[in-house]
A and B are shown apart, each in its own frame.
Chain A
Amino acid sequence: MATVLQFPANISTLNNYNDLYPDWTQREVSTGTTIMAVEFDGGVVMGADSRTTTGAYIANRVTDKLTPIHERILCCRSGSAADTQAIADAVTYQLGFHSIELDEAPLVQTAASLFRDMCYRYREELMAGIIVGGWDPRRGGQVYTVPVGGMMTRQPVSVGGSGSSYIYGYVDSNYRPGMSKEECLKFTAGALSLAMERDGSSGGVVRLAVISEQGVERQVILGNQLPKFSTV
């Protein structure tokens, strides 16, 4: 837990501004991001952009933000790259241990709860917005969202990250319950393209993953193959 220190009003920032070391050498790495997950009958479709930034510099333009937590459970990461990587590693370990103890595939709700426990307990120290998606034999395809602060809720469609603000309208108007896998893929790719077009912190390629009883199939849509919406 962070302790609060009282600093005098005239504190000078030690070594903070120096012409030799530009802004992006001192800023934390953040996955600016647009992430999304959609449930369909038989599984989930998860998607993310691929940009990681330190300030105004793109540190990694081909990031994989869809991190496997278990055989049929993935999570989309947004927020601080270090925080989300550390949380995902910890939850992967805990879930793997739990699954071995149980001797069966873990529930998606269990994975989401583990994320929620960690994100809520350390909410002051962490900056992480996570969407958990997967398939289990008991409830089929499920999407749970764990935003900054540590709430957890199940949603049929969930968007997250800085670019999500731009696509709430598109998602609300284009989502229908009972879409097929192909329709979900097209819907997700379209939503992510629109967000990447408008949000400076999102970009690169679109990474998609379909999780179902058969397993996980992944695809990449390169920049020049993205769906186009307007010629303006």
Chain B
Amino acid sequence: MATVSVCQYHRGGFSFENCKRNALLEADINKLGLSSPAARKTGTTICGLVYKDGVVLGADTRATEGMVVADKNCSKIHYISPNVYCCGAGTAADTEMTTQIISSNLELHSLSTGRPPRVATANRMLKQMLFRYQGYIGAALVLGGVDCNGPHLYSIYPHGSTDKLPYVTMGSGSLAAMAVFEDRYRPNMEEEEAKRLVRDAIAAGIFNDLGSGSNIDLCVITKGKVDYLRPHDMANKKGVREEKIYGHPVTGNYRYKHGTTGVLTKTVTPLNLEVVEESVQTMDTS
């Protein structure tokens, strides 16, 4: 019944054969008191809203590996098509690859139809792929763009459910960001107000959620124009160390003057070594 499409999906899914082996390895490692490396997640605050002329997407820039920050300035707003961008929360690799796959398929689809791509198409492709993998691809996405039918915004969950809403937040900092949105969102805002609101929502996530931090990236999509503002706001600039304190330089000089420590006695013991064996090994420099 289904027609043959240009983009053929790989029929395979995941093989779970190694799960049992991994579980045994994990138990062995834990017995030694160590822990296996965690997948790198983007703890994250991402959000989007629809305003008068289009869509504003926002994201923080921290990527964590367990309790350690792996990347202080990673880019979470991914390109899908010239008029559609997607923010990704969850497992960093999953969001990166999923958005790249759908971006590639959407370009093929657009060439096949001869029309600029629609946000609803990207939404369908993403939700069908994520549902096929039954939630094992940990990608929670905020998809936004402007097409022939106007501005659209979707939130997409790892199991494949989607919601079409005027404002959405995702990630571990989503509650903080949603609090800001619920307080100040109005339909048909102007661009400056919309950008300020998204910036404040992400800032709420950055300062109140441990999984989010660093800078705020914004992406403003309107009909015919995309402003990718990275960074829009460096909310957490690294401090500059003082050069001198009370006239003494702070960094560098760890050498003490000769005579700082008084010498009481001096004993010299020569070590008499004899050569036992001498061998030459030529290095292969070819």
Contact = CB atoms under 8 A, between A and B. Distances in A.
Interface residues of A, number: 35
Contact of B64 (A11, A20, A83): A20
B15 to A, nearest CB: 11
A12 B27 contact: yes
A62 B166 CA distance: 11
Given A82-B159, A86-B128, 4 more contacts: A54-B157, A60-B155, A82-B157, A94-B1
Given A15-B38, A21-B211, A7 B159 contact: no
Contacts of B128: 86
- Chain B CB count within 10 A is highest, among A11, A62, A89, for A11
B272 to A, nearest CB: 58
Given A5-B20, A82-B131, A12 B26 contact: yes
Interface in B36-77: 36, 38-39, 41, 43, 64, 66-67
Contacts of A18: 66
Contacts of B27: 8, 10-12
B171 interface: yes
A29 B1 contact: no
A21 B43 contact: yes
B127 interface: yes
B160 interface: yes
Instruction: Specify which of A18, A25, A83 lies most central, judged by the most chain B CB atoms within 10 Å of its CB.
Output: A25
A94 B1 CA distance: 9
B23 A80 contact: no
Contacts of A52: 161, 163
Contacts of A7: 19-20, 23
A59 interface: yes
Contact of A80 (B39, B41, B159, B163): B159
A60 B165 contact: yes
A20 B40 CA distance: 13
A8 B20 contact: yes
Interface of A: 3, 5-8, 10-12, 14-15, 18-22, 25, 28-29, 52, 54, 57, 59-60, 62-63, 80-83, 85-86, 89, 94, 97, 125
Nearest to A2: B134
Interface of B: 1, 16, 19-20, 22-24, 26-27, 30, 36, 38-39, 41, 43, 64, 66-67, 124, 127-128, 130-131, 134-135, 140, 155, 157, 159-163, 165, 171-172, 175, 210-211
Contacts of A86: 127-128, 131, 160
Considering residues B66, B128, B172, which has the most beta carbons from chain A within 10 angstroms of its beta carbon?
A: B172
**Best-surrounded residue of A3, A10, A82 (most CB of chain B within 10 A):** A82
25 contacts: A5-B20, A8-B20, A8-B24, A15-B38, A18-B66, A19-B210, A20-B67, A21-B41, A21-B172, A21-B211, A25-B171, A28-B157, A29-B161, A52-B161, A59-B155, A59-B157, A63-B163, A82-B127, A82-B157, A85-B160, A85-B161, A86-B128, A94-B1, A97-B1, A125-B134
Nearest to A86: B131
B23 A11 contact: yes
Nearest to B36: A14
A19 B163 CA distance: 27
B176 to A, nearest CB: 12
Contacts of A6: 20
Contacts of B20: 5-8
Nearest to A84: B161
A29 B211 contact: no
A25 B209 CA distance: 13
Given A5-B19, A21-B43, A29 B157 contact: yes
Q: Residue among B26, B160, B165 with the most chain A CB within 10 A?
A: B160
A59 B38 CA distance: 27
Contacts of A59: 155, 157, 163
Contact of B172 (A5, A10, A11, A22): A22
